[in-house]
């Protein structure tokens, strides 16, 4: 019997809500429906954690099971199609860099489960299959949504006390970001730096320059995606004029196309990058950035524990992942669905060192948060 044949795959839909108070201030209402639709968050941005995810379990003839986690609002139909395609295949004969899964919002879950299995078979962590680790801990930033200036200062202070060196705020063109930085400086001194991430919601150069007027540049680690991605010339202008680093988020679950980075490299339009997506593609993006002489960090969708563990393996295998990463689900989600939570030490996450991903499903928690929808193969 070939012990590395996939005999069964199970996908369980779950919804794990956000902790109270972890997103926007109560008085800050986000009513941008187009933004919510674009980023698949439901009726408003602050309901993103109420959107379903799928937990994947892939089992082999030898009794081992690997686990994965999709991005939110993944397609049930596409998940089932991929399950049918992979059932019966030998994981040792798959091309691990190009699995037969087309959609990027589900790809990483299948990749994660298969790499988890390979690690368990060979007795090594997943990052070894990605070329090996450059570090054993990953610096991580704190994170929150849109805030009043007072709440912004409090959240940054709490992150600083936990050892985070960087704090990231989501924001729109309605937010008084200069007042945020002033209040944070009063509360935190030089103890923490900031990344502002409008998710392209500042739209254009003129709005960005207006909103950044008077912002304390010393407290700013950088500005991420202030304007529309298509405005490459605008990125170049801001990079030259703002006096702070300008970052571009390359998110494969949204763009579905790794080539989006090439235009920015050719134009020298960013100082660094935020990457998220499948492991081997993310490593490729990191290598391109490294050749460009620029650093990166690992991005997220404020995920659960399986995806965050996978993100850590990707981050440690990325040579230039030196900017604190977006791995902070424990700050926002009410549960991570893994038995032992990711360990944070002075603002840095410790990479699990067990076989495969190094984490295990918390089945009692999954039972609590499952929606009742499940897919199985063979079926």
Q: Is 155 inside a domain boundary?
A: yes
Asked whether residue 303 carries a pLDDT value surpassing 90, the answer given is yes
Which are the contacts of 233, defined by CB distance < 8 A and separation ≥ 6?
267
Q: What are phi and psi of 122, to 5 degrees?
A: -95, -10
Q: Is 216 inside a domain boundary?
A: yes
Q: Is 72 inside a domain boundary?
A: no
Asked whether residue 289 carries a pLDDT value surpassing 80, the answer given is yes
Q: Is 159 inside a domain boundary?
A: yes
> For the residues 125-132, what does the mean pLDDT come to?
97
Asked whether residue 368 carries a pLDDT value surpassing 60, the answer given is yes
The pLDDT, as a whole number, for residue 231 is: 97
Give the pair of three-digit tokens for residue 348: 């840095």
What is the C-alpha to C-alpha distance for residues 302 and 163, in angstroms, rounded to an integer?
19
The pLDDT, as a whole number, for residue 40 is: 86
Q: Is 1 inside a domain boundary?
A: no
The pLDDT, as a whole number, for residue 38 is: 86
Give the pair of three-digit tokens for residue 190: 């030089």
In 84-210, which ranges are E strands? 137-139, 142-144, 166-170, 193-197
Q: Is 282 inside a domain boundary?
A: yes
Q: Which helix (H) or strand (E) holds 282?
A: helix 279-291
Instruction: Give strand pairing partners of 222.
Output: 195
Q: Note the pLDDT tens digit of each residue in 149-202.
A: 999 999 999 999 999 999 999 999 999 999 999 999 999 999 999 999 999 999
- Give the structural domain span for 214: 137-350
Q: How far is CA 224 from the centre of its chain?
A: 14
Q: Is 202 inside a domain boundary?
A: yes
Contact, 330 vs 143, CB < 8 A?
no
Asked whether residue 254 carries a pLDDT value surpassing 90, the answer given is no
Asked whether residue 379 carries a pLDDT value surpassing 90, the answer given is no
| Number of domains composing the chain | 1
What is the C-alpha to C-alpha distance for residues 352 and 345, in angstroms, rounded to an integer?
13
Q: Is 13 inside a domain boundary?
A: no
The CATH number that applies at residue 268 is 3.20.20.120
The pLDDT, as a whole number, for residue 1 is: 57
């Amino acid at each position: 019997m070939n012990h590395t044949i996939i005999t069964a795959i199970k996908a369980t839909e779950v919804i794990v809500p956000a902790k109270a108070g972890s997103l926007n201030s109560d008085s800050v209402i986000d009513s941008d429906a187009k933004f919510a639709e674009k980023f698949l968050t439901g009726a408003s941005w602050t309901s993103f954690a109420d959107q379903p995810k799928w937990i994947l379990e892939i089992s082999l003839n030898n009794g081992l099971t690997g686990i994965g986690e999709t991005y939110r609002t993944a397609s049930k139909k596409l998940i089932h199609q991929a399950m049918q395609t992979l059932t019966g295949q030998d994981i040792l004969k798959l091309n691990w860099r190009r699995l037969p899964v087309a959609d990027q919002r589900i790809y990483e879950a299948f990749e994660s489960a298969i790499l988890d299995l390979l690690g368990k078979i060979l007795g090594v962590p997943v990052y070894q299959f990605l070329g090996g680790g450059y570090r054993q801990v990953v610096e991580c930033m704190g994170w929150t949504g849109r805030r009043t200036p007072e709440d912004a200062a409090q959240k940054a202070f709490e992150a600083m006390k936990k050892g985070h060196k960087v704090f990231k705020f989501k924001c729109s063109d309605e937010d008084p970001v200069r007042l945020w930085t002033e209040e944070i400086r009063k509360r935190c001194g030089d103890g923490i730096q900031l990344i502002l991430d409008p998710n392209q919601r500042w739209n254009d150069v003129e709005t960005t320059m207006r909103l950044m007027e008077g912002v304390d540049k010393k407290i700013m680690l950088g500005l991420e995606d202030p304007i529309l991605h298509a405005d490459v010339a605008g990125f170049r202008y801001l990079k030259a004029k703002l006096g702070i680093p300008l970052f571009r988020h390359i998110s494969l679950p949204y763009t579905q196309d790794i080539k989006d980075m090439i235009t920015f490299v050719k134009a020298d339009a960013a100082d660094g990058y935020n990457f998220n997506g499948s492991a081997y593609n993310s490593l490729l993006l990191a290598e391109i950035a490294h050749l460009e002489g620029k650093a990166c960090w690992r991005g997220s969708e404020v995920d659960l524990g399986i995806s965050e563990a996978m993100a850590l393996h990707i981050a440690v295998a990325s040579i230039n992942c030196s900017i604190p990463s977006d791995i902070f689900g424990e700050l926002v989600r009410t549960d991570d669905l893994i038995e032992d939570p990711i360990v944070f030490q002075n603002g840095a996450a410790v990479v699990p060192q067990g076989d495969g991903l190094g984490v295990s499903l918390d089945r009692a928690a999954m039972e609590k948060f499952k929606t009742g929808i499940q897919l199985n193969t063979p079926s």
